[in-house]
Structures are given as structure tokens and as C-alpha cells.
Structure 1
Amino acid sequence: MADSPLSASPYEIIGVSADADDAALRAAYRRALRQAHPDTGGDPAAFHAVQRAWAMIGTPEARAAYDRGRGYGTADASREAWAPAAPRARRDSRPLARSYGHPGGFSRERYLELIREWVGRGVTVDDPYDPALVRGAPRDIRHLLADALVEEQTARSLATLGIAYTVWHDLATDAAGPSLPPKLDHLVLGPSGLFAIQSEDWGGEVSLRRTEVVGEVLGRERPVHALAARAKAISRAARVKPTALMVVVPDEHLAEPLQVGGTVRGAVVALVRSSRLASAVREGLPGSAHLGGTEVMEVRSRLQAVVRFA
């Protein structure tokens, strides 16, 4: 199970409610194990997940520890991974890309607001990143924290592009629509083009079909359509055009490192694993226009004049 706020709990993997008695838990475990067993046509990954879930809640002691938020030695690690990271001294002396804005800041602020609202007025939330609290929250609240984490990971990857690139994070835009965050996650400018990027963790596998991201976990969402609208709002104000629209997801949610589709308003659409992002931007996408040095400087000046942050 991935260390994500959207990861299924061991109860969900086994297929039983968290308040099930020991007999019901054991019966559900055996049923899930049979269904997932590779010898009966099941999925090896699902089989391993069921076994690991049982290790977390299969004994009264392990279950009690998990229910307290300290199960299987993972809760402390989850809390550390989910909370804002403390600044660290750099060991690498290579120049980083020029970066502006606060990656993941909007999503974290919205998460903190909604988690406290969900807990209830007058109730003190000592630790909003406590794994037991996070796991019990509604999916839309956990999704905000998951998005903040992948946005921060994307920012770390983009910083390695080097001084030839400029990166803006959490750009304000009014083109998101009433149900979507009013911002563009990342905008990257360099010799390989102008990339509008959305970082996402939907908690499951997705793929690219022509010019849209699809998957069971998406519901009625149209991520590329929304990304194109956000990018257009900014690029129109700056009188520039993005050369690529990219959606970044955790590695385990995409079967291939990079999927390239068609174009939207002249911008090439791509779905990419987080670990492949920096190299994909540095190399440029197939069919995507590269920019000359003078052109990069002009586009940067135009963007700097109009960019606002969420």
C-alpha cells in the first residue's frame, strides 16, 4: 500500500468495516485471499496487498495498535511524510531552476481548513496530519492532502532542470470553475518549451486516451480540459501559447513512464510518471515546439508581468 492519504485502509483491502468483530474480519480475510490468489486467476499485487493488510490488523494486538494510529510501524513514517517538510541544507552545488510561488500551499491550506471543519466547531485538532485522523476523513479532504504532496514532489523534480528553466507554482486563475481549485499547479518555461502542468493523486490507475486522462477513479473529471482552461487564462493574459499540457501522477498509477496523446489548441498532451517528469520536460515532447534563447527571454518577461499566485 502506497504511503498516500488516498491509500486504501487494511479494512478496505480485506473488504470489511472497521467495526467488524474478529470472526467477521477473519472470514473476510480468507475470502479476499481466495479471490486474489494467483493460482485461481487473481492478481498477484492484490494478493500481496491482502497479506500485508492482514499483518496490520490480523491479531488483536496489531489491530489495536493500528486503530490507535500506530499500526505496523508505518504511522509515524506517514505523519512525517505528510506534514510540511523542514528546510534542508543542499548538498548538490549545481544551479537549480528559478522558482516562484509556493507549491502545494493552496491545497495544504484548504486541507487544514476542511479537516478542522469536518472534526467540528469547538474541537481542538492537535495534529492535522495524524494518520488516524487523516484515514478517517472523507475522500475529498484526503484528496487535497494527497494533491499537496504530489505538487511538492513535482516542485522538487522541476528544480533539478537547471538555471535555463523558470518555474512558477500555484498560479492564480479564474478559469477553474466553481468545483475546482482556482489555480494552475505549475508553469515551466525553458528551451524545450512552455509547459502547463497539473500534479494529481487520484488514488488509482489512470491512462491517456487521445487528449484526456481516463480511469475508474476519475468519475466525471476531465483533467486535461480543466488544465487547458487554466493555462489559457494565463497564456492569453501574457499573449503566449503553451507548447505542452502535462498531468503528473505517482509512478504506481501509470503503466508506462510517459504517454503522449494529441494536441489541444496546439499544445501536446502528455501523462507522465513523477519520476519521469524532469527528463520529459528537459527533452521536450514529440511534436512539441522548442523555443530559442531570445524567445524564452521574451516569454519570461511577459509571464512575469501577469502572473499572480493563489
Structure 2
Amino acid sequence: MSDSPAAATPYEVLGVDASSSQDDLRKAYRRLARETHPDLGGTPERFRQVQIAWERIGTPEDRARYDSGTARPRSSASSEGSGHTWAPRPPRPRAESKPRARAFGHPGGQERVRFLELMREWVGRGEPLDDPYDPALVRSAPSEIRRILAKAVAEETTATAVVDLGIAYTIWSNVACGREPELDHIVLAPTGLYAINSEDWGSSVRLVKGEIETANLVAGEQPVRTLTRSARAFEKSSRVPFTAQLIVVPDEALDDPIEPAGKGRRNSTFLVRRSVLPHVLRGALTGGESTDRVDVFELRDRLQQAVRFV
């Protein structure tokens, strides 16, 4: 259980309503602690989730802090999406000594708009919504609304990481791919051209037969296949091939820094930890080789003409 807005709340982990009494909360914890204990047939991961949930709301004091949104994140590694950092961040001052990458499009923009629409509907028309990013309010919202916010933050975080790499990089965000779902990002780097989707399901992910499995996937969701279809559609329309396809997830969601989604030398889709993305774009997949066979400036011009935004 992470501090992502998409993560299951302690109440959801313990299977109780947020309005439950402290006694009912304690009973639910004791029952689940027995059921999930590894010595009694449970799994270490599930048992740990129950313990973390209890740590957060097990006492009236901790519960009050969690409900009010004043509880501190468990770790700095997962604090990117905690508290008021879920709100849009203002543009950072540009350091003249370090030119940033060229950036086009609005990462997370569609998701932000949809999140605000759904929050207003959920709170109720005519009701005040002074701060839609208030941690207590967000955590009490339905999981499908929290997932949209997590997606927005994930896209924004990826874009920021690429922009900080410098002038040799270019990123386009929310790129249309014909009838297929849009690509969150296309990144042109000295080491190649990358199709990237940024995800945060608020839970750990793993690959099973080339597709992602995680607790919070909606029915029919196939992230690897979706990315592949969108990348191929863009390649067909632009006539520019991708070097690789990347699905970027929070660090705590993935066991290994980089995991291939397929086998063999022709595999080009990878799951990547968020903190490792700059390393990948600098050449972790290509041995550090640059695209010296292609004029990067000419390719950037071609892409600029081909890209259409959603």
C-alpha cells in the first residue's frame, strides 16, 4: 500500500467503512491478521498491507490524523503523490545555466479536467468544493476517481523527469494515435525514439505472459497491448519507428528497475521504475549508443509535423 491516490485506503484494506466504530475496526484487523498471516496460509504481502493499514488508523489519534489528511507519508520514496502535492505544481523557475528539453502538449491535462468534473459530481452539484485536492477529500472519493488523479500525477512526473534531462531531448505529451488510445508521451533522445505511457495503479505490478497484472486494473484493461497498438498506429501514420516502448510506474510498484514485457531479441516493450527512466533514456537499453544513423534535428522536424494532440 503506497501513498498514491490510487492506492487502497486503510479502510479498504481492512474491509470496513470509514464511518465504522473503533471497536469494529479492531475486530476487522484481528480477523484479517489471522487470515493473512503467512504461517496460517496467507501471503507476506497481504499480511504487510494489513499491518500498514492498522498502523495508519489503529488508534483514534492516528485515525484522526489520517482522516484529516495531516498524517505524514510513510517514506520519501512514495511521497511524490501524497498530501497537497496531488495539486498541480506551479512552473519552476528556469535555471539559465541548464537549458531544459523542448516540451509540447499538456501532460496529465485531460486527467485533471476529468478528475475535477467527477469530484464535483461526487460531492454534489451546488455544494462548495474549496479544495478538490484536499487529502482527506481525495482519500474518501471512489477508487475510480482517485485512479484518474494518480494517472495525471504520473504523467506530469514523467514529463518533468524528461524536461530536466536537457536540451538534447524533446517530449510530446498526450499524442493522438488515430483510432487507438493516445500515447502519454513520445520522447526523442540521443539514444532513440520512445513511446511512453505513465501509470500508477496504487499497487505492485508484475508481468504474466507479456501483460501486466495488478490489483487495481479495470476489467478488460491491457496496458502492454494498448501501448503496442498505439505505438504501431503512430508509426504507421508518421513513418517513424520507435526504438522501444516503455510503461513507467512508481518505484515501489516494480521489483526490478527494468523488466522486459516479452522474450527474445525483438522485444521492445519494457516496464520501468520511475526513478530509472532518465537512465533508460540515456541508453540503458541501447548500450549508450546514439542514433547517429539518423539526423536527430531532421527527425524532430518530421515528428513535429506528424504529432497531433488530444
The normalised TM-score by structure 1 is 0.85
Alignment RMSD (CA, Å): 3.1
- CA–CA separation in structure 2 for the residues paired with 1:210 and 1:30: 36
Q: 2:103 maps to which residue?
A: 99
SS at match of 2:71: helix
- CA–CA separation in structure 2 for the residues paired with 1:38 and 1:226: 36
Unaligned runs of 5+ in 1: 177-181
Q: Does 1:131 align with 2:130?
A: no
- CA–CA separation in structure 2 for the residues paired with 1:267 and 1:54: 42
Q: Does 1:308 align with 2:304?
A: no
- CA–CA separation in structure 2 for the residues paired with 1:212 and 1:16: 32
Which residue identity is paired with 1:158?
V
Instruction: Judge conservation of contact 1:34–1:40 (CA < 8 Å) in 2.
Output: yes
Instruction: Judge conservation of contact 1:187–1:194 (CA < 8 Å) in 2.
Output: yes
Shift of 1:148: 0.7
Identity %: 50
Provide Cα deviations, 1:147-201, integer angstroms capped at 9, x if missing partner: 111111111221233322211111133333xxxxx52101011231111000001
Q: Does 1:23 align with 2:56?
A: no
Q: 2:12 maps to which residue?
A: 12
Q: Does 1:212 align with 2:215?
A: no
SS at match of 2:261: strand
Larger deviation, residues 104-113 vs 156-165 = 156-165
Q: 2:194 maps to which residue?
A: 195
Cα–Cα, structure 1 residues 130 and 167, in superposed 2: closer, same or farther, change >3 Å?
same
Q: 1:229 maps to which residue?
A: 229
- CA–CA separation in structure 2 for the residues paired with 1:94 and 1:23: 56
The normalised TM-score by structure 2 is 0.85
Cα–Cα, structure 1 residues 147 and 307, in superposed 2: closer, same or farther, change >3 Å?
same
Cα–Cα, structure 1 residues 306 and 223, in superposed 2: closer, same or farther, change >3 Å?
same
Which residue identity is paired with 1:246?
L
SS at match of 1:72: coil
Which residue identity is paired with 1:222?
Q
Q: 1:183 maps to which residue?
A: 182
Instruction: Judge conservation of contact 1:268–1:288 (CA < 8 Å) in 2.
Output: no
- CA–CA separation in structure 1 for the residues paired with 2:308 and 2:294: 24
Cα–Cα, structure 1 residues 154 and 44, in superposed 2: closer, same or farther, change >3 Å?
same
Which residue identity is paired with 2:169?
Y
Matches within 5 A, 1:249-264: 249-262=249-262
Matches within 5 A, 1:86-125: 86-90=90-94, 93-125=97-129
- CA–CA separation in structure 1 for the residues paired with 2:216 and 2:64: 30
Q: 2:76 maps to which residue?
A: none
Provide Cα deviations, 1:5-46, integer angstroms capped at 9, x if missing partner: 112212223332223222221111222333455666755565
Instruction: Judge conservation of contact 2:183–2:197 (CA < 8 Å) in 1.
Output: yes
- CA–CA separation in structure 1 for the residues paired with 2:297 and 2:204: 38
Q: 1:151 maps to which residue?
A: 155
Cα–Cα, structure 1 residues 125 and 212, in superposed 2: closer, same or farther, change >3 Å?
same
Instruction: Judge conservation of contact 2:7–2:201 (CA < 8 Å) in 1.
Output: no
Q: 2:241 maps to which residue?
A: 241
Which residue identity is paired with 1:128?
P
- CA–CA separation in structure 2 for the residues paired with 1:28 and 1:262: 41
Instruction: Judge conservation of contact 1:170–1:183 (CA < 8 Å) in 2.
Output: yes
SS at match of 1:20: coil
- CA–CA separation in structure 1 for the residues paired with 2:209 and 2:98: 37
Cα–Cα, structure 1 residues 210 and 26, in superposed 2: closer, same or farther, change >3 Å?
closer
Shift of 1:110: 1.5
Cα–Cα, structure 1 residues 71 and 225, in superposed 2: closer, same or farther, change >3 Å?
same
- CA–CA separation in structure 1 for the residues paired with 2:282 and 2:83: 33
SS at match of 1:129: coil
Q: 2:146 maps to which residue?
A: 142
Q: 1:170 maps to which residue?
A: 174
Q: 1:279 maps to which residue?
A: 279
SS at match of 2:295: helix
Unaligned runs of 5+ in 2: 74-78
Instruction: Judge conservation of contact 1:238–1:306 (CA < 8 Å) in 2.
Output: yes
Q: 1:179 maps to which residue?
A: none
Q: Does 1:78 align with 2:82?
A: yes
Instruction: Judge conservation of contact 1:192–1:284 (CA < 8 Å) in 2.
Output: no
SS at match of 1:300: helix
Which residue identity is paired with 1:88?
R
- CA–CA separation in structure 2 for the residues paired with 1:107 and 1:45: 30
